[in-house]
Structure 1
Amino acid sequence: MSTQRSDALTLAEKLAEIRIDNISPRALKVARAGIIDTIGVTLLGSLEPPTVVLKKALAGGISPGEALMFGTDRRVGMLDAALVNGTASHAADYDDMAHAMGGHPSVTLVPVIMALGETLGSSGRQALEAYVVGFEAECRVGRVVNPHHYEKGWHPTSTIGVFGAAMAAARMLQLDVQHTATALAIAASLANGVKANFGTMTKPLHVGHCARNGLFAAQLANSGFTANLDALESKQGFFAAFDGLENVDRGRMLDDWGVLLEAEQESVGLKQYPCCGSTHAAIRAMLELVGRGLKPENVASIEIKANRRRLPHTNNPDPQSPLAAKFSIQYVTARSLVDGAVRLHHFENDAYVEPKVRELIARTSLAAFPKTANAGTHEEENEFAADVTVVTKDGRTMVGSVPHALGRGGANPMSDHEMWEKFSDCATRLLPAAQVADGFEALQRIDQCANLSEITKMLEAGSRS
C-alpha cells in the first residue's frame, strides 16, 4: 500500500474541512431539496418493475435490520436497504442532475445516508453534512474524467457516484482522513455500470449497487480493511482503467477549491419531467411553442437539434415500452405538443403507442448541433440545450430554443410549492395524502430532526413485501 500522497488522501483531507457549521445556507438548501426530492422519487420507484423484480429476486435473502425499505413497512439490513432503495430511487428516472458529475448526484447519496443514519441513530444535521461532502466528492472526481468518461460508455451516476456514496457513509461513520481515503480507494474497485443498459431495468440497478458498494466500502475501511491509496491515479488504477490517463485531467479535482461548493453550482438541478434529463431541453422548447399557440393538428414537420452527446441514448423514434419512452427524445417532444405537459402517466400502460403521438413522431427528424471552430467549448456550454423547429401545414416556421440548463436549480430553483407538487405526485401513489403531507413537512425541517428514524417512520407504507 502506498504511503505517498495520493488523490484519495488529498481529496479526503480537503473534504475533512467541510463541516455543518461552515456549509453555506445555499448549499444546505440544495442538500435539503435533494433529500426531499430523492425520497419522493424513491417512493414512486418502489412501485416500478425494476424494484419489484429485484425484491422478488432477493426474497428470503434480505437480512433484518433497522433501515426502512421504502415502499414497505419492513426494516432490513443497511446494505440491503441501500441496494433496494438505491434501485428504486433511479427506477422512474425522475431524479436530479449535476453537470460536473455527469449524472444524478442525490440517488447515490440519500439511500446510503438514510439507511446508515437510521441504523446509527444519526441526526438530520449529520445527514445534511454527509450529503454535502458526498456531493462534493463525486463531482470532484467527475471533473477529472468527464466528458470522456460519459462518451466512452460508462454510467457516471454509478461509476463516479460510488465515490460520493463512500464519502457520505464515511462521514456518517465519522471516519478520520486515513480511513476515509481507504474507503475511496476501495470504492475504486467497486465501480460499475455501462450505458449500453440504458432503457432497461439494469440502469437503475447500477444505482442500487453503487449505493450498496459505497456504503460497503466505508464499512470495510471502518473495520480495518486495506486498499492502495493510489487506486485512483495509479497506472493500473481507476482513471487509467476507465478512461486512460491521457484522457483525464487530475488537476481539475481541486480547481477553485473553496470558491463555491459543488452543491452551490448553477449546473445542478431537480427534474421537472419524469424522463431522461437529456430530453428536457427539447421538452421545454416544444412547450414554448405550445405557449405560442401551436396545435398538433397544424404540424407538417418537426426538427429537433441537440448536443451530440445527448443523442446516442435518446435517439429512439420507436420506443417499445414505457421505460424506453423515457429515453425517446422524439416521444417526449411529441407528447409535450399533444398534452402541453409531460407527466408520470405518460410513461404508464400503453401511453407510448397513442396514435396522436406516434403520428407526430413519424413527422419528426433529429440532428446534432453543427460543430464550430471552438467545438469543445461550444459543446460544453450547450451540452443540455435544444432547438425545436416546426413547419406548419400553412407554411409557417416556428422555433423554440432552450439554452444549456440542467433541470431546475441555481438561479431558477423549484419553489416549495413546486417541490410539494412533485413530491406529492410521486408519494400519493403509495401513501395516504395526510401521511405524505406530514412526511414532506418533516423533511423540510430535517435540520431539526434528532434521529432520522423519526422521519422514516412517517413514510412507512403499510404491509408490503
Structure 2
Amino acid sequence: MEGPSVDVVDRVCYNIAETTFENFDSKTVDLAKKRILDILGCIIGGVNAPGNAALEGLVRKWGGREESTIFVKGGKAPAQNVAMLNSIFARSYDFEVMSYVIDGKLYASHHAATVVPTALALGELLRSSGREILTAMLVGEDLAARVQTASAEHPIYLGWDGCATLSHLAATATAARLLRLSPSKVRNALGIVLNMIAGAIQSLWDGATTFKLGQGLAARNGIFAAELAEQGWIGVKDPLMSRFGYFSLYGGGCKDPSVLTKDLGVRYYGETYFKPYPCGLPTHVAINCTLSLIKGHDPDVENIEEISIGVPPGALQNSYYAKPFIIRDFPHGDAIFSYPYAVVTTLLKKKVGLANFTEEAILDHKVSKLIDKTKLLEQTAAGERLSIELRVKMKDGRELVERCAFQMEWVERTTSWEFVINKFWHQVDFSAAVSKKDADKIINLVGDFENVSDISEMVSFLRGQKEMQ
C-alpha cells in the first residue's frame, strides 16, 4: 500500500517543483491574472474591516526583518507575517473569487485568498517575475483542487474549515515553487505543514472574527513549512495518503486517488466564481431572489407585514446561513453568513455591495425592524441546489413570491475582464485607501503580469495613499 501512495505523492511533488510557465495555456494564464486582480481588489476593499487593525498592530509590534509590503497600509515585515495579514485583508468581506467545477461537479473552495498574497509576499522578497508568481500560484491552486476533489468528504462536514485546511497545502506548494525546492524538499514541506493545519468551522456558526483567521494562517504556515524544508527539516513521508495523512485527518479518506495525477502537468485547476456580492455564496441565491422580487413588484418596505424565507430541507439544523439573525460581539460575522440579513438589506437598499455590510448598515434600526418580521422555513421537498423560496406578505393582503436556485453557470462561465475590473473599482471607491492613479496602474500591470520582470514594480502602487503622502 505504501508503494503506490508514495508514487502518487512523488508525481505530485515533481509537478510542483518542475512545472514551468510554458506548461500553461493562455486561458489558464488569463484566469489566473483575473484572480490576482480580484484578490488585490478584496485586499483594498477589506483592509479596514473590523478586527484587521488589531492584527496589523500585532504584526508591526512583532517587528522583524523588513521583507515584504503590508498592502494598502504600507511598511514592511517578515514575508510570512505579511502574507498572513494580506490574506486576512482579502478574506474580510468574503468577496473573493472561489470554487471550481471538475467533471460537472461544483467544489466550494477559498484558495486564491491565501495563494495570491502568499505568492506576492514571498515573491517580493525574492524579487520574482510575474511568470514565476503565476507558476507558483497555479501549482498551489492545482494541488488544493485535486486534493479536495479526491477527498471522500468536504472538510466542513468533518468540522474543519476547508478555507484553512486546503489552503495550507496550496500555500506550501506555492512557497516551495518560489523557493525552487527540489521534489524531495517539496514533499518535506507538505509533510511539515501537515502538522500545522487547523481551522474550526464553528467560527462561522458563532459569527466570530476567526472565520478569516485560517485563511491567513495558511499563508504564514505555508511559507514557514517551505522555508523549514529548505533548511533540511524532514516532514511526514506521505503527507496525503498515509494512515494519519491529510485525507485521513481532513478529507474523510481518499475516494479517488487517480484525480491527483490525471492530466497532471497538463491541466491546472483554479477558482472561477468571481463573486458579485460580499457575502457567502448561498446568500447570493437569496439576494438574486430578492432583487428579482424588487424588479417585479418594488415593495414598499414600510408596508411589509411578513417575510418568509424558504430554505433547503435540513438547512435549519445544518447550515449556519439559516440560523436566526442575532447581532452578537462581531456583527459583520453575523451578517455575511446570514439568509435573513441578505434578504433584508437587499430589500432596504435595493442593491448589494460593500456598503451593505458595514457595521453602520448592519446596526441600522430599519434592519432590526424588518428582521423582526422575518422567519425561516424549510421547503417541504428538495428543490434545485441551494434553492430559495421568498414570500413577502404586504399589509394590503398581497403575497409576493419569488423562487431562485444556484446556477452551475455562475462557476462554469468565463468571467469577463470588464466584470473583474468593475468589481476592483468598486472596492477602490469603497475604501478610498488607494489612489485612482495607482489603482489604474495596478490594473494595467496585472493585465500584463506575465511580462513583469520584478513584482516590486506593482507592489509600489499598493502601499496606500497614507504612506505615499
1:448 and 2:457 are equivalent in the alignment: no
Q: What pairs with 1:129-208 in structure 2 (closer than 5 Å)? A: 129-145=135-151, 147-198=153-204, 199-208=207-216
Distance 1:419 1:175, change over 3 A: same
Aligned partners of 1:3 and 1:255: how far apart in 2?
A: 15
Q: Aligned pairs, how many?
A: 449
* Contact 2:150 2:260 survives alignment (8 Å): no
Q: CA deviation at 1:115?
A: 0.8
* Contact 2:189 2:226 survives alignment (8 Å): yes
| Percent of residue pairs bearing the same amino acid type | 23
Secondary structure of the residue that 1:236 maps to in structure 2?
A: coil
Aligned to 2:288: 284
Aligned partners of 1:3 and 1:179: how far apart in 2?
A: 19
Aligned partners of 2:238 and 2:378: how far apart in 1?
A: 39
Aligned to 2:279: 275
Q: CA deviation at 1:107?
A: 1.0
Q: CA deviation at 1:16?
A: 5.3
TM-score normalised per structure 1:
0.88
Secondary structure of the residue that 2:237 maps to in structure 1?
A: coil
Secondary structure of the residue that 2:327 maps to in structure 1?
A: coil
* Contact 1:118 1:452 survives alignment (8 Å): yes
Q: CA deviation at 1:158?
A: 0.7
* Contact 1:130 1:172 survives alignment (8 Å): yes
Aligned to 2:364: 354
Aligned to 1:238: 246
Q: CA deviation at 1:167?
A: 0.9
Aligned partners of 1:237 and 1:438: how far apart in 2?
A: 44
* Contact 1:155 1:195 survives alignment (8 Å): yes
Secondary structure of the residue that 1:301 maps to in structure 2?
A: strand
1:106 to 87, 104, 112: 112
Aligned partners of 1:309 and 1:260: how far apart in 2?
A: 35
CA deviation vs aligned residue, 1:123-151 (integer Å, no higher than 9, x gap): 11111121211111111111133644212
2:354 to 326, 344, 365: 344
TM-score normalised per structure 2:
0.87
Farther-moved stretch of structure 1 (251-260 vs 122-131):
251-260
1:38 and 2:39 are equivalent in the alignment: yes
Distance 1:454 1:262, change over 3 A: same
AA matched with 1:165:
A
Distance 1:34 1:370, change over 3 A: farther
1:209 and 2:217 are equivalent in the alignment: yes
Q: CA deviation at 1:464?
A: 5.6
AA matched with 1:285:
C
* Contact 2:86 2:117 survives alignment (8 Å): yes
Q: CA deviation at 1:193?
A: 0.6
Distance 1:126 1:97, change over 3 A: same
* Contact 2:17 2:181 survives alignment (8 Å): no
Distance 1:353 1:331, change over 3 A: same
Q: CA deviation at 1:249?
A: 1.4
* Contact 2:34 2:417 survives alignment (8 Å): no
Distance 1:399 1:252, change over 3 A: farther
Distance 1:206 1:73, change over 3 A: same
Aligned to 1:424: 425
Q: CA deviation at 1:390?
A: 3.7
1:403 and 2:406 are equivalent in the alignment: yes
AA matched with 2:281:
G
Q: CA deviation at 1:162?
A: 0.5
Runs of 4+ in 1 over 6 A off after TM superposition: none
Aligned partners of 1:139 and 1:419: how far apart in 2?
A: 22
Aligned to 1:375: none
Aligned partners of 2:424 and 2:280: how far apart in 1?
A: 18
Q: CA RMSD in A?
A: 2.7
* Contact 1:20 1:126 survives alignment (8 Å): yes
Aligned partners of 1:464 and 1:367: how far apart in 2?
A: 50
Secondary structure of the residue that 2:223 maps to in structure 1?
A: helix
Aligned partners of 2:451 and 2:63: how far apart in 1?
A: 32
